[in-house]
Amino acid sequence: MKVPNESGSAVVDFVLVGALLTLFFISIVQLTLVLHVRNTLIDAAASGARYGALSDRTSLDARARTTELIGAALNGDFARDVTSSEVDIDGMRTLEVTVRAPLPVVGLLGPGKLLEVKGHADLPG
């Protein structure tokens, strides 16, 4: 026996559940994108540091290499704030490359300089 007050409730249930599932799916995709950007920046910073630590290279070469890798993998906006410096870690001279980039909140858009990653490489000598 069909209750007259419940006609159309299946459509409302479908819309509510569908909207919730869509929001959940988009959140997972965005989290995956954030992790991809973070891992790409870490890899670029570490590769740039290793490149700059070669005996015939400088910290400027490390910065340029990091910027080039980020620009090729992501977007030039993520490579706007790249710095490199020599630091002492446990008594060893180390080249440190730091990248400060936007945290992608909606797609690749987001507030700037919230994501900071560093790459290190031992210097010769």
DSSP state letters, 47-86: HHHHHHTSTT--HHHHHHHHHHHHHHHS-GGGGSEEEEEE
Average pLDDT, the chain: 92
| Domain coverage including residue 97 | 10-122
d(CA 114, CA 102): 6
Task: Flag whether 51 is in a domain.
Answer: yes
pLDDT, average across residues 39-56: 97
Task: Flag whether 14 is in a domain.
Answer: yes
d(CA 105, CA 18): 22
Task: Flag whether 5 is in a domain.
Answer: no
Count of domains forming the chain? 1
Q: How confident is the model at residue 4 (pLDDT cuts 50, 70, 90)?
A: low
At residue 5, does pLDDT exceed 80?
A: no
